[in-house]
A and B are shown apart, each in its own frame.
Chain A
């Protein structure tokens, strides 16, 4: 398969990345080559193989239902680019 510029542009929106035209020029063939390489997995018959998502296959790990302190709000907000002391601030999206 080969990847097109339009594919790369579409994925850049999904990935919430803004790519420059130069980056799209660079990535289109590079990502295409990587995807061509990984296509080799298609040669393997994996019909009866179940997917392995994790090296230690745990289903659920529970802890006792006890209150433990969480990160204080001030500490959680201290690295925010914009905050008002209570909330993270973001650009308005409604009623634009």
Chain B
């Protein structure tokens, strides 16, 4: 059976009619991963035995005539930042090289209950900090459309796994664009739900007020299916919202009549690549031919979003990552050499007559913390911890952190006002297509500025979706972003599906 152009929805039909078993399908993806992933690096780990065992159990259920869940034997790839009991959970970091989750995340329970096959764990920027997947402590992930280029990040492996057709569905997380940006750069569909829509229980925290789990897939229809499974209230995440989950997978195919789209003129200002601008504009024209109206809206504080984000996210990160102390779990430095080193430092200072300095040398415990964290964290993680620790330190807290929280409210108010006039805001996901690996490695600020179209949704807490809307002359995908008022995922998915009924960008697959 030729499965090369399949989607989750088409595979589910084959599974339901018995033309395909979950074991056959799981083997198909395991084979593709074994053949091609050495040059992509989408997966950190694949567990063939366990995923085939899950597939066998689901096939047996189906053959016995028992009801199967919504995902009925479909393989799902999970970003390596979500706890799965007994499995390694590295977050792309050396810090957690040997860490095994003691429990299942809320969404893992939901995936299992829906009869998903958990295929493996996808590559990512360390602790989800980055937009290129170059910050993985293990190996970079590459863009399946051009392996010299980044796939985006931090859910680079999650997006590349879909683009390379290593899995029909995957789970990513989005703190400042980490689902939408790699989805855009890899030519797949990725949705960041409204904050609170999906439980964060068992998601390793980066910036708790911004992090959200969401689906990646080939189509909006497939993303709707996966969102329906993972969304919903979980008392173990006090920020998860207790609101009914709409049947996204049933409504996604219904077009939206009289759709009102907003465009933000600043989204098309200097810095946006010409090919990206042209593709986004022609995508907006497609919506017009489908009956949508388009008008300009203002987001006057959008220009401050990156600055706001790069205070709030590092502040929350420095606080969240304080838990990696070499005591409870994670890497701990060898104590023997450290103790000897500290004694030598004190002795040397005392010999030089610097008793006051000798008294300031770290004690054993502080040096153990510092050395363990130095060994466990990579450069970008250290950089963000440092920015956060600085912005939260005495004398700077009000000027940086509190100021950013105030601007955050202004950004949210801009959206509330704009959505009084339009149903969705449409624009680019990223200012350029995927760039070559290494190009921005020495310029963190340049890398941060690439997030200008995505971070606002996280600050405002609203949902957004990225869908493929074009290809550059160099053969790299271009993404279109739609954002919606809170809890309007249904609207995002339906609008995305409308576009995908009129275009075929989402059907293009890279040559493997």
Contacts and interface: CB of A to CB of B under 8 A. Distances in A.
Interface of A: 7-8, 11-20, 23, 26-27, 30-31, 33-35, 37-38, 40-42, 44, 46, 49-56, 58, 61, 63, 71, 75-76, 78-82, 88, 90-93, 96
A38 B307 contact: yes
B406 A61 contact: no
Interface residues of B, number: 76
A91 B386 contact: no
B410 A92 contact: no
B304 A19 contact: no
A75 B385 CA distance: 29
A67 to B, nearest CB: 14
Given A11-B390, A34-B444, A79-B99, A61 B238 contact: yes
Q: Is the interface of A mostly helix, strand, loop or mixed?
A: loop
A37 B307 contact: yes
Interface of B: 98-100, 102-103, 194-196, 209-210, 235, 238-239, 241, 301, 304, 306-308, 310-311, 318, 322, 325-332, 335, 339, 362-371, 373-374, 377, 379, 382-383, 385-390, 393, 399-400, 402-410, 412, 444-445, 448, 458-462
20 contacts: A11-B393, A12-B370, A13-B362, A18-B374, A27-B386, A34-B310, A37-B306, A37-B307, A38-B308, A38-B400, A44-B304, A44-B410, A46-B407, A49-B409, A49-B410, A50-B406, A54-B195, A79-B98, A81-B331, A93-B364
Contacts of A26: 379
B237 to A, nearest CB: 10
Contacts of A16: 322, 325, 366, 369-370, 373
A17 B402 contact: no
Given A19-B382, A52-B406, A55-B195, A14 B389 contact: yes
B307 A91 contact: no
A19 B389 CA distance: 14
Contacts of B310: 34, 37-38
B262 to A, nearest CB: 20
B220 to A, nearest CB: 23
B318 A96 contact: no
Contact of B386 (A15, A49, A50, A79): A15
B335 A91 contact: yes
Contact of B445 (A34, A76, A80, A81): A34
Contact of A33 (B195, B306, B377, B445): B445
B326 A50 contact: no
Given A41-B404, A46-B406, A56-B239, A15 B327 contact: no
Given A16-B366, A38-B310, A38-B400, 10 more contacts: A12-B386, A23-B379, A27-B382, A42-B403, A46-B407, A55-B210, A78-B100, A79-B98, A79-B329, A81-B326
